[in-house]
Amino acid sequence: MPGTNLTQQEAIERRAVVAGRPDYRISLDVTKGPDTFPSSTTITFDAAPGASTFLDLTADEVVSVTLNGTALDPAEAYADSRVTLPDLREHNVVTVEAVCRYSKTGEGLQRSVDPADGNVYLYTQFEVPDARRAFAVFDQPDIKSTFTFDVAAPASWLALSNTPVAACEDVPGALTEPGTLVDRPAEGVRRWTFETTPVMSSYLTALAIGPYAERRSSYANADGRTIAMGLYCRQSLEDALDRDAEYLFDVTKKGMTFFAAQWDVPYPYAKYDQVFAPEYSSGAMENIGLVVVHDRFMFSSKVDAGDLEDRDRTLLHELAHMWFGDLVTMKWWNDLWLNESFATFMGYLAGCEAAGWPDDWSSFCSCQKYGALDADQRPTTHPVVAPIHDLNDTYVNFDSITYTKGAAVLKQMVYYVGREAFFKGIHDYLTRLAYGNATLDDLLESLQRASGRPMRDWAERWLEHAGMTMVEADADTAADGTISRLTLRQSAPGERPVLRPHRIAVGFYDLDEVSGRVTRTARFELDLDGATADVPEAVGLRRPDVILVNDDDLTYTKIRLDERSRDFAAEHLAQFADPLARAVIWQSFWSMTRDGEFPAERFIDLTLRALPTEDQAATFTYSMREMQITAQHYVPAARRVATMRRISEEVWRQIGEAKPGSGQQFQLLTAYLAKYAADHGFEAHARGLLDGTVALEGIEIDDGMRWKILRALAARGFLSEADVDTELAKADTSKNRENALAAKAAIPTAEAKAKYWDLMLHDESLAHTQLWEMAPAFNSDLGCEDLYEPYAQRYFDEAEWIWTHRSFHVADVLLRFLYPEHAPAALLTKLGDEWLAAHPAGKTDAALRRLVIDAVDGSRRAAHAEAANN
Do 1 and 142 lie in a common domain? yes
Do 203 and 70 lie in a common domain? yes
DSSP 576: B
pLDDT (mean) for 410-421: 94
pLDDT for 707: 97
What tens digit of pLDDT does each residue of 639-697 get?
Answer: 999 999 999 999 999 999 999 999 999 999 999 999 888 899 999 999 999 999 999 99
pLDDT for 495: 67
Cα four-point dihedral sign 155, 156, 160, 166: positive
Residue 826 has pLDDT above 50, yes or no: yes
Residue 33 has pLDDT above 90, yes or no: no
Residue 783 has pLDDT above 70, yes or no: no
Residue 360 belongs to some domain of the structure? yes
User: How distant, in Å, are the alpha carbons of 434, 584, 717, 856 from that of 302?
Assistant: 42, 29, 26, 37
pLDDT for 30: 96
Least confident of 8-12, 315-319, 731-735: 731-735
Residue 123 belongs to some domain of the structure? yes
Domain boundary among 211, 236, 251: 211
Domain boundary among 149, 180, 211: 211
Contacts of 651 (CB under 8 A, 6+ apart): 608, 611, 668, 671, 672, 676
Domain boundary among 428, 463, 498: 463
Can you give the residue range of the structural domain that contains 115? 1-211
Contacts of 750 (CB under 8 A, 6+ apart): 787
pLDDT for 399: 86
Candidates 97, 127, 286, 318; catalytic one: 318
Domain count for the chain: 2
pLDDT for 847: 86
Residue 792 belongs to some domain of the structure? no
Q: CA-to-CA distance for 404 and 156, rounded, in angstroms?
A: 42
Residue 707 belongs to some domain of the structure? no
Q: CA-to-CA distance for 746 and 673, rounded, in angstroms?
A: 13
Residue 106 has pLDDT above 90, yes or no: no
DSSP 672: I
Q: Are 543 and 483 in contact (CB under 8 A)?
A: yes
What tens digit of pLDDT does each residue of 220-234 get?
Answer: 999 999 999 999 999
Residue 393's pLDDT band (cuts 50, 70, 90): confident
CATH number, domain at 363? 1.10.390.10
**What secondary structure does DSSP assign to 638-656, as a single string?**
HHHHHHHHHHHHHHHHHHH
Least confident of 240-244, 337-341, 483-487: 337-341
Judge whether 318 counts as a catalytic residue: yes
pLDDT for 3: 62
pLDDT for 204: 98
Residue 437 belongs to some domain of the structure? yes
What tens digit of pLDDT does each residue of 147-182 get?
Answer: 999 999 999 999 999 999 999 999 999 999 887 788
pLDDT for 808: 83
Q: CA-to-CA distance for 359 and 380, rounded, in angstroms?
A: 32
Do 182 and 33 lie in a common domain? yes
What tens digit of pLDDT does each residue of 423-447 get?
Answer: 999 999 999 999 999 999 999 999 9
Q: CA-to-CA distance for 636 and 621, rounded, in angstroms?
A: 24
Q: CA-to-CA distance for 611 and 623, rounded, in angstroms?
A: 8
Residue 97 belongs to some domain of the structure? yes
DSSP 573: G
What tens digit of pLDDT does each residue of 277-312 get?
Answer: 999 988 999 999 999 999 999 999 999 999 999 999
Do 199 and 332 lie in a common domain? no
Residue 782's pLDDT band (cuts 50, 70, 90): low
pLDDT for 56: 97
CA angle, 811 as apex, 237 and 318 as ends, to 5°?
45
CATH number, domain at 87? 2.60.40.1730
Q: CA-to-CA distance for 702 and 662, rounded, in angstroms?
A: 16
pLDDT (mean) for 724-742: 95
Q: Among candidates 444, 289, 414, which has minimal Cα distance to 346? A: 414
Residue 868 belongs to some domain of the structure? no
pLDDT for 2: 46
User: How distant, in Å, are the alpha carbons of 570, 751, 846, 857 from that of 380?
Assistant: 32, 35, 10, 9
pLDDT for 394: 83
SS3 685: helix
- Give the end-to-end CA distance of the chain in Å, rounded to a whole number: 49
Residue 400 belongs to some domain of the structure? yes
Q: CA-to-CA distance for 722 and 846, rounded, in angstroms?
A: 42
Q: CA-to-CA distance for 404 and 388, rounded, in angstroms?
A: 18
The chain-wide mean pLDDT, for the chain, equals: 94
